[in-house]
Structure 1
């Protein structure tokens, strides 16, 4: 076994899995020295075609992660080369080997002539990557996941119809939903892939003249409704029969996953086994060339449509030049950052958003300039051109201590130093109420002491607290006027999502922690954005530090009322603090035993409710323009 990766860290990690693995810097070195029989290409999509070509020229069978290639011409060239050399090609279409697909394929003849096929995939975009790596922007994540629902749709169409595959129509929404009609012969299927739809689902549905099949890839089940189902008895018993299939199927699927302790993607090991067996036996590849080509063809057309929409969106969202009076906003693609950007533009302030990844077209705000930069490694002077103020709202929100050190502490220091080097003298650092020490019962004011045990509440609070200290320290050293603003838990009353300190949602059950009369230190995200934009133009009127809260803190009961409006079926269970505290002690003891040397997280402290003095923000709030 051998691996090629330019990253020493990646090579070391692989040796931790397979000690005897040979490591190379480049694929060419690997192909020349190791002379492998099979090459797995799991690199970024743009590199798939040239690497596949090189592996075939070296006489290797190839497995290529999805998307197989970005262009159908490249896919055709690879398949032609493999055919000419007698080599096999496989792609990362592992859902074909998941149990739901196999069951659906087995029962497909039972439903008769197929009349309709639907392939649906909804998912949440990944916003954080291990090790602080930059994640793909949302539309690129959509393209990365797109092959899965496409090849599932094609699987049924290829068995149900004759002729060539035809993409009949294609529509893209403003915020990342793909609708497509795909036809083969007399059978038309629908393809829907969405970043917006909830809950997260992945299913394949086939409807025939004698029933229907529903393959659920989230629960790993198949519900069968075979037969015409037109009689009264059928209509009466069909829901119970399908409910029983769902119950038993889900239970069996969970048991299989638990007992096997499968760490890879379901179906992936089975796909590898089938591919290797084909190589050993001289049989055809488990994936047909036609399926690979048509999957790439449809994905390429979706990608082209996305590029065309992006060009139109960029033209419509042309940025206003940041030549003077500009404001630099880090974290400007986030929940709070977007509101800050909108509010600054409404005040006729030019805005430059500095982000670690390029936002998708639908994530951009018209009039704002977007610059991609990883400020944790340095903030170049050109980022600050034409600006007089920085609002540093970026921070790590996931991961461990290393990620928070890099993306909270390091990024903060680099931004302060970069601003000073560019001659900027005004810097707003967005911190968090979580950095404040536990109170003694009296309302906590804006100058309340910081938490002395910065690591006691986990990496996020530690990152926020230490980056606040760093911003003030380095700012004073370099002569910057640094204002620290500590928002409470951010909520959007227009589209309410409960703050973490309210409790935890488990399906349709919400476990609320504490008492219904407890008041939480929250702040409306829209008000926060308008307040921070107002601060830029009224610098001397805003003290530092400032706890940014709703002028009147709502009770937990009031917040749950907002949640129930959008979730009428929600069941609320209260977990009193006298129950939480011993649970927290037990959890801390377990952490010390299981993770010696690492600071334990005090769950009771995380969910603690502190009274806040909102008198100062109440005086300033009337000056903030309404929505």
Structure 2
């Protein structure tokens, strides 16, 4: 019987959890240990099998668990040190992207592994998707490669700067480009060295590079701003072309010169046929795939672990790893250089604006804001600063100059940790906008529930007397259970994780706020926001419908009203609470007093998105589809709660009496300024 590989994982973040799934499906591998600093909190429930040992110290993990192979899934700057540590403990290593931040680091790591006769694998998993494997088979038909394009566009992520995100995703299109060079027929014997001819970068989110080897030209394109989201390789060859899509549609190959008139007519039909069947095939495979992880990850892990079992070559060539790191390093150097110049210019623009601002009014005091860099936070902070309030925002990182509100003070801190005393100096009121919006129970417990507890308790310790907690109207039990319309006295859906961790966490945070304010000298108010929109720059809320290609499927009946909250209304009301705290209701369900009809909202969307064609799905049809879907899901997944499609899009009805009163007062106060 083949010996089971003892596998350890370093890093228990989002990607680490995907690695757990990938390791679990390997027949001859066993996950025996995970190391992450968060395991220092022994009281936390991490929902990990008791057969897996948890360590907060990686050295202790090596000594006690004695793994054969280690997957390193930690922040990039830690990869090299952890790789060398694992090798010194006799472990083969799998390293997440980027493998290393410099060519020198990568070379030393690979040399150390060779000296110790250990294997190394880099996280080039996109190559192991179906498209990454299949396009290679077409190359024999296509003749010599002339041009290669590797393109990758991605959505921006708030917690990273554009440059940080570009550096993070860059390895994917780079190693795909290099693989196409290596597999090309006219490059089979190697020969000329890879030459990085030119690089152009824009720190707002763009990379273009020109690469040459032998008589092949490669184009590398990466964008955070171009749409739609795409990831593909396109090879143009002497006898046709092939397009490998890594998002959904698979391979579209067009063999032959395609120069005759009949060929020109046939090409679009061939491409359309392959596009349709490739997309259908990918969707079906995704639905029925048991291993729900990043595409290609399980396959790459299998290939790497098998190479250890069989003592064969690892699946990713070391030359590819080094070339990938080398190109990424050179691009990153230029990105950082351009970013430095760009930020200096933006910083000066901000300083120029701030120099012309009116001084803050000391009689108003200073407000402390959490979540001040978000959608509502930025509007609120701008409004308060316009009224000459002092505004201090706690943030995990200072925003880029272009994202800061002029005149606002930004201080670095995590509200789930202890905060410095000076952050509460001269604070008259705390406005708590921050909450976890992603992850599971664990993340929401830390970043919503415990963060709220710590923040209000710390504010009380520093003799801050007013606390405004911004909650969500979603914490209320639905009207189908308790009757409607819903109002401020409607019951809160407490301790109900089936509503999702966000609602669960918000409901608990409300209770904590009320409990502490009753026991201590800090008074609290809670504002439950309806779904936020910006009527001045409208984007459709989820309950209105869904965008499907060139169509917008509007759910429900056109005449139905949808209760929302405009971000400017929310800002005005919170400002009113700051100014007239004692006169404000303890709890407020904040929605627009005169809600718009679904048809009005769709019209607003169409005025901004003229390319969309609207299709209405009436409530009766939506209900029938929802019932059928629930029945089918119960049969397919009897142990899971089925999706209620109708409930996801149906409109709750609210009693807006109190909201109308407060909104009216807040607008009168704004107009009097």
* Residue 225 of structure 2, aligned match among 174, 178, 196: 196
Give 2:35's aligned residue. Answer: 5
* Residue 561 of structure 1, aligned match among 603, 608, 611: 603
Aligned residues of 2:622 and 2:646 also touching (Cα < 8 A)? no
Aligned residues of 1:455 and 1:461 also touching (Cα < 8 A)? no
1:147 matches 2:171: yes
The count of corresponding residues between Structure 1 and Structure 2 is 613
Give 1:489's aligned residue. Answer: 531
1:100: how far off? 1.0
Partner of 1:391: helix, strand, or coil? strand
* Cα distance change on mapping 1:587 and 1:454 into 2, 3 Å: farther
1:13: how far off? 9.6
Aligned residues of 1:322 and 1:386 also touching (Cα < 8 A)? no
1:235 matches 2:264: yes
Q: Deviations over 1:325-346 (max 9, x none)?
A: 3322111222211222333333
* Cα distance change on mapping 1:417 and 1:573 into 2, 3 Å: same
* Residue 221 of structure 1, aligned match among 247, 250, 271: 250
Partner of 2:376: helix, strand, or coil? helix
Further displaced range: 614-623 or 30-39: 30-39
1:163 matches 2:163: no
Aligned residues of 2:36 and 2:58 also touching (Cα < 8 A)? no
Q: Deviations over 1:323-371 (max 9, x none)?
A: 9633221112222112223333333444332235665676544544433
* Distance across 1 between alignment mates of 2:56 and 2:576: 52
* Residue 651 of structure 2, aligned match among 608, 616, 622: 608
* Distance across 1 between alignment mates of 2:208 and 2:508: 46
* Distance across 2 between alignment mates of 1:485 and 1:15: 33
Matches for 1:469-548 after TM superposition, within 5 Å: 469-505=511-547, 510-529=552-571, 532-533=574-575, 536=578, 545-548=587-590
* Distance across 1 between alignment mates of 2:477 and 2:113: 65
1:395 matches 2:435: yes
1:122: how far off? 2.6
* Residue 499 of structure 2, aligned match among 455, 458, 461: 458
Give 1:576's aligned residue. Answer: 619
1:555: how far off? 0.8
* Cα distance change on mapping 1:188 and 1:349 into 2, 3 Å: farther
Give 2:670's aligned residue. Answer: 624
Q: Deviations over 1:216-274 (max 9, x none)?
A: 11116111123333333223221111111112223333444455523343323333343
* Cα distance change on mapping 1:426 and 1:177 into 2, 3 Å: farther
Give 2:127's aligned residue. Answer: 96
Q: Deviations over 1:584-619 (max 9, x none)?
A: 79969969x9679x9999964983331534642245
Further displaced range: 91-100 or 448-457: 448-457
1:278: how far off? 4.3
* Distance across 2 between alignment mates of 1:477 and 1:366: 38
* Cα distance change on mapping 1:322 and 1:267 into 2, 3 Å: farther
Q: Deviations over 1:444-500 (max 9, x none)?
A: 77xx31325445682444443443344344335433343433333211235433223
1:296: how far off? 1.3
> Which 5+ residue runs of structure 1 have no aligned equivalent?
128-134
Using the size of structure 2 for normalisation, the TM-score is: 0.77
Give 1:131's aligned residue. Answer: none
* Cα distance change on mapping 1:256 and 1:531 into 2, 3 Å: closer
Matches for 1:309-458 after TM superposition, within 5 Å: 311=340, 315=344, 316-317=346-347, 325-356=365-396, 359=399, 363-401=403-441, 403-435=443-475, 448-454=488-494, 458=499
1:468 matches 2:510: yes
* Distance across 2 between alignment mates of 1:426 and 1:35: 54
Aligned residues of 1:438 and 1:451 also touching (Cα < 8 A)? no
Partner of 1:412: helix, strand, or coil? helix
1:519: how far off? 1.8
* Cα distance change on mapping 1:594 and 1:151 into 2, 3 Å: same
* Cα distance change on mapping 1:275 and 1:526 into 2, 3 Å: same
> Which 5+ residue runs of structure 2 have no aligned equivalent?
1-5, 7-31
Partner of 1:427: helix, strand, or coil? strand
* Distance across 1 between alignment mates of 2:39 and 2:64: 21
* Distance across 1 between alignment mates of 2:232 and 2:413: 38
Aligned residues of 1:381 and 1:419 also touching (Cα < 8 A)? no
Give 2:27's aligned residue. Answer: none
Give 1:130's aligned residue. Answer: none
1:81 matches 2:112: yes
Partner of 1:610: helix, strand, or coil? coil
Q: Deviations over 1:104-138 (max 9, x none)?
A: 222235444434322222334567xxxxxxx7676
Q: Deviations over 1:547-590 (max 9, x none)?
A: 54445321111111222341633442324269639957996996
